[in-house]
Amino acid sequence: MRTATVERKTRETEILVSLDLDGTGVHDIDTGIGFLDHMLESFSRHSAIDLKVRAQGDLHVDFHHTTEDTAIVIGQAVRRALGEFAGIRRFGSSLMPMDETLTRVAIDISNRPYLIWKVKFTRPKIGEMDTELFREWFQALAQNAAICLHIENLYGENSHHIVETCFKGTARALRQAVEIDERLAGAVPSTKDVLVDSQ
């Protein structure tokens, strides 16, 4: 069972995440930020990862802490559910269109976290949410899931479409990367024969 539940409490946020990498995209999301909920629901559906998120944060200050901390805990849960990375495909990629927008995403589940973010928005906000927060979300996801994540918006005009293709593209690429490859027969997909440092 590739499942995990992670809780994180700070002075700024309280986050609970439960997920199943081998799910069907069932989701139950409540972060207190409507647009983030929408993106996480889409992320769950297109990754086929069952995802429950409960977040309470200092939204009276701004959306930064809740946005970033939600990705921290989702990333930690993904990392925990992956275990030793045994038998996974490891790599995934997606070319995600949405109307006038096209975004390219590539993932390596390498235990070497890195984010390349080549995304620019045409507006500073989507509703009440600052568009600069989306880079923070993907940075926190990559760092805490220990994945190498490249996201490049090739073109687009509508900021909603741009960010939605980033979430959907990452979801599709992650779905490929975490999938079990039966041909590997449980082996770690690396010439090193290990991706996780021994404890």
* pTM of full prediction above 0.85: yes
Higher pLDDT, 197 or 6: 6
pLDDT on residue 151: 98
Task: Give me the chain's average pLDDT, please.
Answer: 93
Q: What is the pLDDT of residues 173-189, one digit of tens each?
A: 999 999 998 877 666 66
**Residue 151 token pair:** 């996201």
pLDDT on residue 1: 85
Q: Where are the domains of the chain?
A: 3-184
Q: What is the pLDDT of residues 12-66, one digit of tens each?
A: 999 999 999 999 999 999 999 999 999 999 999 999 999 999 999 999 999 999 9
Encode 155-167: b = buried (16+ Cβ within 10 Å), e = exposed: ebebbbbbbbbbb
Whether residue 170 has pLDDT greater than 60: yes
81, 19 Cβ separation under 8 angstroms: yes
Q: What is the pLDDT of residues 58-75, one digit of tens each?
A: 999 999 999 999 999 999
Whether residue 194 has pLDDT greater than 60: no
| Homologous superfamily of 3-184 | Imidazole glycerol phosphate dehydratase; domain 1 (3.30.230.40)
pLDDT on residue 199: 39
In this prediction, residue 198 has a pLDDT band, given cuts at 50, 70 and 90, of very low
pLDDT on residue 182: 82
**Residue 158 token pair:** 């509508």
Q: What is the pLDDT of residues 75-108, one digit of tens each?
A: 999 999 999 898 899 999 999 999 999 999 999 9
102, 95 Cβ separation under 8 angstroms: yes
160, 34 Cβ separation under 8 angstroms: no
